[in-house]
Copies of this chain bind each other. A is one copy, B any other.
Amino acid sequence: METVSTNRSHGGEQGVYRHRSTATGTEMTFSVFVPDHAAGAKLPVLWYLSGLTCTHANVTEKGEYRAACAEHGIVFIAPDTSPRGPQVPDVEAWDFGQGAGFYVDATQEPWSANYRMRSYVEGELPDLIAGIFPVDLERQGITGHSMGGHGALTISLRNPGRFRSTSAFAPIVSPLACPWGEKALGGYLGPDRSAWQEYDACALVEGGARLPDLLIDQGSADTFVSEQLKTELLREACDRAGQPATIRLQAGYDHSYYFISTFMAEHVEWHAERLKA
């Protein structure tokens, strides 16, 4: 692993790192914030999965998480959203291909060689992190934005017990039921929609997956809510299944980091209560 940059911030260290991924067959970049801590301490971890078009850099620069993570003693990790590079298959669109990995393991050519973000985020990156940073992987939380909210919800629902806390900002709650999801899962996984189920938070909840609770914030002025995000589908699925969920509609907020940064400190605190309980 190579260190791209480190900057002292909020009493801790914000780093950006690069490594060769076996899951994706590419160089992958990610960021880690480690707050000030006692020598030898192992800190709880909050994973943040980013949305379409983003890299690690968007939340690292605009997410406003460091003050809260420093206060609560939480390591914050932000992976990239897809494999990247001139040798990685891509299309012109911003909602498929590079920048749009959807946290799946692709099964269709030409995507299956590199687009394995599920294996990367669920397996390879935690293993790498555990050996290098002062983290306690018995105390992990996960969150994300939009496509990354979809990633956070589905990864947590598929791995019961692994994350003590799960939240999301404006998540895509059902790729089976929106154009972004149809395009991405159809492309990466092929036309058999039964293969999409494990990548759909609503379908996972309906199929019996359970988490202790969920926190979701959704802006009322988010232009993607009615066609793509469809928060109500998750609310209905949770209600039907008896899955506890706090789903808040935040009046006037849009889909941007101006929204995310507003509620980031509350999410970090919510995770901290569960990670440090």
Contact = CB atoms under 8 A, between A and B. Distances in A.
Interface stretch (A19-27, A111-119, A254-262): A254-262
Contact of A262 (B11, B62, B262): B11
A267 interface: no
B64 A7 contact: no
A265 B67 CA distance: 10
A258 B221 contact: no
A66 interface: yes
A254 B8 CA distance: 7
Contacts of A228: none
Copy tally for this chain in the complex stands at 2
Contacts of A7: 254, 256, 258-259
Interface string A157-186: 000000000000000000000000000000
Given A62-B61, A62-B62, A253 B8 contact: yes
Interface string A249-277: 00011101111011001000000000000
Contact of A258 (B14, B252, B253, B261): B14
A170 to B, nearest CB: 13
A187 B62 CA distance: 35
A219 to B, nearest CB: 8
B62 A8 contact: no
Contact of A9 (B10, B61, B66, B259): B259
A260 to B, nearest CB: 10
Contacts of A61: 61-62, 257
A235 to B, nearest CB: 22
A158 to B, nearest CB: 33
